[in-house]
Amino acid sequence: MTDYSRRKILAAGAAGGLLAASTARSAQEGTAYPSANPAVSYPGPHDPREEALNPSALNPLSTDHGNLGTLKFSFSEVHNRHTDAGWAREVTVRNFPASKAMAGVNMRLPKGAVRELHWHLPAEWAYVTYGTGRITAVDGDAKRFVADVKEGDLWFFPSGIPHSIQGLGPDGCEFVLVFNDGNFSEDSTFLISDWIAHTPTDILAKNFNLPESAFANIPHKDLWIFNAPMPGSLESDLAQSNRPDVPNSYKFALMDQTPIKTRSGTVRIADVNNFKASTNMSAALVEVEPGGMRELHWHPNSDEWQYYISGSGRMTVFANEGRANTFDFSPSDVGYVPRSTGHYILNTGKDTLRFLEVFTTGQYSDISLTSWMANTPHELVAAHLNMDVSQLRQLAQNKTPVVPA
């Protein structure tokens, strides 16, 4: 059983205790979870399990207002498509209506299992959450790509680039995929086995300059995820093609990057500046220590798709017309923030909060509320907010993505 499953089960089993704990915690933090307000009681039908996982929906912060719709969903709530070789589950606009610009897939490939050779219309961005795998691709100039990936690595395949993924030893891999189209479904890929099965064998023979007998045993339905022999060494796979490598690697070792670091956390950014192949998607891996917070900010160029890897957090999203809603997150949850919508993410637990921010633009960009205020004439800001100019002069002019800095 995975760590996030244990956490969900424990949360559901101890729902009453968690609600009480959240009430006491919130009272200490000065939020709007009343402990002795007779107007706030729930004597009718309700679901303590969901309430334990979403305390900020049950008893919102006093600063919340209006209805932004749900900006949270979970892979744990969706149908999981299984085969004998692995599984995948997806979060798309069909079950998460807010997620218009991006769709996500969580996939598991045990040792030897293959996500078959395929391509699709949207670009594919990926983060490895567990284990090791081998990825392959060929670009439009028939240049090759074969690489091994491990936990913490990324890959990116542009629209239409054919590719595959295979789990390596000792226990395969698991990963999350993000596509730059909220309507995209994992079931809507172009599969090599499917195309071959729907092409007459005489056409196949003519195309490949092989006898028709070469295609006598082709599968008559798609493979999607299937078991295959373990590959040889990376060097032996590369040696099977004499073509040059793709000009920009589709793999990126995110954890090898020097992070932006504050005393409360780190941010590692992967965009077209350091991951050259990723021309129309970018991402950040954010780590927030207990007591820390991803600062008040917004992203001017793209919606933000989030994936929560570990820890627990609380996000408040601010929109126009005085609307602000708060959501609670735990591992396997997906968050979504529309473009240019203000938000922050607070670590509400005792462990490091770790999550991904993914965008549909090659250039990562965010705007910090603190640095905006600090770099605007202080008297002007003071007139807006009725603050003391001396306090505004203390604000950090540079960006500090995780605070306290």
Q: Which of 350, 357, 133 is nearest to 250 (CA)?
A: 133
Q: What is the DSSP string of 227-289?
A: E-PPP--HHHHHTT--SPBPSS-SEEEGGGSPPEEETTEEEEEESTTTSTT-SS-EEEEEEE-
In terms of Cβ atoms closer than 10 Å to its own Cβ (0-12, 13-18, 19+), residue 28 is exposed
- Give the C-alpha separation, 354 to 351, whole Å: 9
- b/e burial code for range 118-133 (CB count within 10 A of at least 16 → b): bbbebbbbbbbbebbb
Residue 124, annotated as binding a ligand: yes
Question: Residue 212 catalytic?
Answer: no
- Give the C-alpha separation, 394 to 194, whole Å: 63
- Give the C-alpha separation, 310 to 312, whole Å: 7
Residue 304, annotated as binding a ligand: yes
Asked if residue 303 lies in contact with residue 291, where contact means CB atoms within 8 angstroms, the answer is no
**Cis amide bond preceding 34, omega within 30:** no
Residue 198, annotated as binding a ligand: no
Dihedral-angle region of residue 287 (phi above 0 means left; psi in -120 to 50 means alpha; beta otherwise): beta
- Single out the catalytic residue among 29, 116, 357, 379: 357
CA terminus-to-terminus distance, the chain: 36
Residue 120, annotated as binding a ligand: yes
Q: What angle do CA 71, 72, 78 make, to 5 degrees?
A: 130
Q: Which of 177, 186, 185, 166 is nearest to 128 (CA)?
A: 177
Asked if residue 280 lies in contact with residue 122, where contact means CB atoms within 8 angstroms, the answer is no
Residue 220, annotated as binding a ligand: no
Residue 46, annotated as binding a ligand: no
User: Residue 71: how many CB atoms within 10 A of its CB?
Assistant: 22
Task: Give the active site residues.
Answer: 357
Annotated binding site for Mn(2+): 118, 120, 124, 163, 297, 299, 304, 343
Annotated binding site: 118, 120, 124, 163, 297, 299, 304, 343
